[in-house]
Structure 1
Amino acid sequence: MSARACFIRRPLQFNLGSSSCSCFVSCSLLVGSQLILETTTTSTTALPTDAPRTTTPTAPTTTAPSGIQYHTAYPRNYHFIMDNPEVCKDQTPFLVLMVPVSPNNIAARNAIRQTWGKEKQVQGQVVLTLFMLGSSGGAYVEQHEKLKQENEKHHDLIQSDFRDTYKNLTIKTMVIMDWLAKRCPAAAFAMKIDSDMFLNIDNLVIMLLKPGIPKLNYLTGMLMWNRPVVRSKNSKWYVPVEMYPEPKYPTYTLGMGYVFSNDLPEKFVEASKSIKPFNIEDAYIGMCMKKLGLKPSSPPNPSQFRAYNTKYDRCTYSKVITYILGSSQQLINFWMDLKRPEPPC
């Protein structure tokens, strides 16, 4: 039995560039444990040539209609089209920072490279920063060449062939987990951190080096308890009952930045085979934890994982681990100020 929820979307929300389609119908089709995002058009305009390679679901007994683009949430239905598989072979990182970012957001990547992402040794530990990208429409050849040149310079881009949209953040996160499990299994810890974040990397590594931090089955960050599922169709966090029938999510860590022992990515990928996906990626990781019989842990100092701050204060920023920022330039400005030699407090 499958459940379907359809909505009319504007073309730009699918990042299809200059497509002449007047509108798209986006349908979320749950088949077994897989989420399939279907895209059909109201005209005969073809989808872009960079459309992801597809995997035909085995659950339905009928043949899929032509013109439908399938996206499945299980990460190994996708393929890496740009990779740096050797980065964990020459050295074993203590911590891998995985940053989901859109292909065209080079400003965010460069700001991170100038700030917390440039730190390769922190508190005597090896730290690695990588960016996870999906595929977008438009001028694909030109964009791919620019990304290739960027990766040749920095060796920090990983790109998969899922469509890079907000609705596909769960897919993006699970591809991150798949990469960690396959390419960097020996790392001690990893962190999924958004591209608009301030990260006090020293404080994070100091936290992870504390003797009481578990080395296995550990997930921490800003904990969300008893969060209701948003049912309003006007909300960007809307999840239909067909995707997630329960009224509340299990306890999860806010997606802005959560840290986990690196044994978990492989377990998440395995658990995802039997969990109906939905588009709230951090709550989905919470579902994976629940499936595994695990619970997220409160960090040693919960006040270090913060969301927003109304103003910059050097003393405060010297004590936290995360803050959400308003721009890439803010990250650069705050970081430069924090790194001044004078004591912050």
Structure 2
Amino acid sequence: MARRRLKLVVMVIVMVNFFIFIIISRHSSQDKNGLHKVRIPSKPFWSKLVPNVAYCNRQQQILDLQNNHVLAANFSAADLPDWLNETHSTSDPCQPNFRVTTQVKDYNSLPVRFKDFLISMHCRSYPVIVDQPDICKEPPFLLLAVKSLAPHFDRRQAIRQSWGRAGAIANRTVVTVFLLGNATSGDHHPNLSGMLRYESVRHRDIIQWDYRDSFFNLTVKEVLFLEWIQTRCPGARFIFKGDDDVFVNTHRILDFLGGLSEPKARDLFVGDVITNAGPHRDKKVKYFIPESMYTGAYPPYAGGGGYLYSGDIAARLHSVSRHVALYPIDDVYTGMCLRKLGLAPEKHKGFRTFDIEEKYRSNPCAYKSLMLVHPRTPQEMIQIWAWLSSPGLRC
């Protein structure tokens, strides 16, 4: 027995040595083939900083450098080119930046809305005129945030009477807020401040900031709202953000949210996603962007008519938005922020920002499985809500 055990031990030792020999042989052969040799780069690792011709792209380059400590450490102050100091810096960060008039090559020929945006795009903070500090005292399951304009009283009231009805729906707490800026006389709006004050006192759902409420400033409304969530409503589990001319099937949204797994709920961002898009170059199009402002493709983004996301994503968007240069189209800007986070919005067929076929629009059952339809008038919102709320509806 002792002799057999000795023989077995010897065999094991021989096999182990054999495998070690094979491993060493393979390693040495790889070294001979050059697979594990130390390679010295023939070119500098950091490429030369070259400014993008388009102003918005260039502002993003500057932000990327300022927020990249590794990259910034490889350049001394003397090495930095002049264009990296284009950022607006005064004691008041929201003073107009008139330096931009010489930094955008065709500034003088641009429409006024572009000039206004470029001069003030560095400003991200505006005073709150009307606030609702206690509206989320009980953290809501769903926060409905509606982009509106001061004169749109009828739209807001129709939403309150239909899909934006606050309170408990399907045993879930729902809170509705309307997001407004200032409707200025410069844009030929009548003075409706007295009526707006009355509306705010009565319904306690108006959030208003002191900035010019224009199409290009919808991005300002976006960053201000993200800041407001973290200050006033950080406990909101989910957020729907959309326009005041959409119909939202709140019941369907609550059903959808209730069926999500925890990981899915945490990273939720769904809507009518647009991919492979880029800036319009036709001056007659509402979304026209000149090449002097932006070049390149857009990241995937959800159409601004309405999208749904988690409170966790809202916090991350708020944080990353400080590192993304403002862009005049708000839904594209949100897509840029998501890309910066390494995320992409998810397309959901329940979001119809380009409407449904005309033959189905008067059919109550056509709205049963949808989350959003755009556009709808105040009267249509109330009508569709009545259809969907009817206990006798059979689809």
Query: TM-score normalized by structure 2?
Result: 0.68
Aligned partners of 2:304 and 2:190: how far apart in 1?
31
**How far is the alpha carbon of 1:115 from its aligned partner?**
0.3
For the pair shown, the structure with the greater C-alpha radius of gyration is: 2
Query: Is 2:306 the counterpart of 1:260?
Result: no
2:253 is matched with 204
Aligned partners of 1:216 and 1:56: how far apart in 2?
38
Matched residue SS, 2:304: coil
Moved over 4 A (4+): 1-5, 28-34, 57-62, 139-142
1:100 is matched with 147
For structure 1, the 5+ residue unaligned runs are 6-27, 35-52, 63-67
Aligned partners of 1:265 and 1:339: how far apart in 2?
30
**How far is the alpha carbon of 1:237 from its aligned partner?**
0.8
1:175 is matched with 224
The structure carrying a bigger strand percent of its residues is 1
**How far is the alpha carbon of 1:141 from its aligned partner?**
9.9
Aligned counterpart in structure 2 of residue 279 of structure 1, from 312, 324, 328: 328
1:24 is matched with none
**How far is the alpha carbon of 1:294 from its aligned partner?**
1.4
1:38 is matched with none
Aligned counterpart in structure 2 of residue 56 of structure 1, from 92, 95, 98: 95
Q: Is the 8 A contact 1:253 1:286 kept in 2?
A: yes
Aligned partners of 1:187 and 1:168: how far apart in 2?
25
Q: Is the 8 A contact 1:289 1:295 kept in 2?
A: yes
Q: Is the 8 A contact 2:272 2:351 kept in 1?
A: yes
Note the aligned Cα RMSD (angstroms).
3.0
1:23 is matched with none
Aligned partners of 2:190 and 2:198: how far apart in 1?
12
AA aligned to 1:343 is L
Matched residue SS, 1:173: helix
AA aligned to 2:320 is A
Aligned partners of 2:310 and 2:178: how far apart in 1?
19
AA aligned to 1:208 is L
Query: Is 2:127 the counterpart of 1:79?
Result: yes
**How far is the alpha carbon of 1:2 from its aligned partner?**
9.6
Aligned length: 295
Distance change in 2, residues 1:29/1:79 (3 Å): farther
Matched residue SS, 2:266: coil
AA aligned to 1:344 is R
1:189 is matched with 238
Q: Is the 8 A contact 2:54 2:294 kept in 1?
A: no
**How far is the alpha carbon of 1:87 from its aligned partner?**
0.7
Aligned partners of 1:60 and 1:265: how far apart in 2?
33
Distance change in 2, residues 1:73/1:126 (3 Å): farther
Matched residue SS, 1:86: coil
Q: Is the 8 A contact 1:30 1:243 kept in 2?
A: no
Distance change in 2, residues 1:113/1:54 (3 Å): farther
1:125 is matched with 172
The structure carrying a bigger helix percent of its residues is 2
**How far is the alpha carbon of 1:339 from its aligned partner?**
2.0
Aligned partners of 2:144 and 2:304: how far apart in 1?
14
Aligned partners of 1:30 and 1:81: how far apart in 2?
33
Aligned partners of 1:195 and 1:172: how far apart in 2?
14
Query: Is 2:351 the counterpart of 1:305?
Result: yes
Aligned partners of 1:59 and 1:186: how far apart in 2?
40
Aligned partners of 2:311 and 2:123: how far apart in 1?
19
Q: Is the 8 A contact 2:95 2:120 kept in 1?
A: no
1:209-250, CA deviations, whole angstroms, 9 ceiling, x for partnerless residues? 11326232321111212123211111101122233211x211
Query: TM-score normalized by structure 1?
Result: 0.77
1:33-54, CA deviations, whole angstroms, 9 ceiling, x for partnerless residues? 79xxxxxxxxxxxxxxxxxx97
**How far is the alpha carbon of 1:261 from its aligned partner?**
0.8
1:124-178, CA deviations, whole angstroms, 9 ceiling, x for partnerless residues? 1101110000002139995222211111100000001121111211112222222
**How far is the alpha carbon of 1:101 from its aligned partner?**
0.4
Query: Is 2:386 the counterpart of 1:336?
Result: yes
Distance change in 2, residues 1:31/1:229 (3 Å): closer
**How far is the alpha carbon of 1:85 from its aligned partner?**
1.1
AA aligned to 2:289 is V
Aligned partners of 1:161 and 1:121: how far apart in 2?
32
Aligned partners of 2:57 and 2:332: how far apart in 1?
19
Q: Is the 8 A contact 1:220 1:260 kept in 2?
A: yes
1:258-304, CA deviations, whole angstroms, 9 ceiling, x for partnerless residues? 11111223332332223222222111101000111112234xxx321
Matched residue SS, 1:332: helix
Matched residue SS, 1:259: strand
Aligned counterpart in structure 2 of residue 249 of structure 1, from 279, 286, 298: 298
Q: Is the 8 A contact 2:94 2:123 kept in 1?
A: no
Matched residue SS, 1:274: coil
2:81 is matched with none
Query: Is 2:160 the counterpart of 1:110?
Result: no
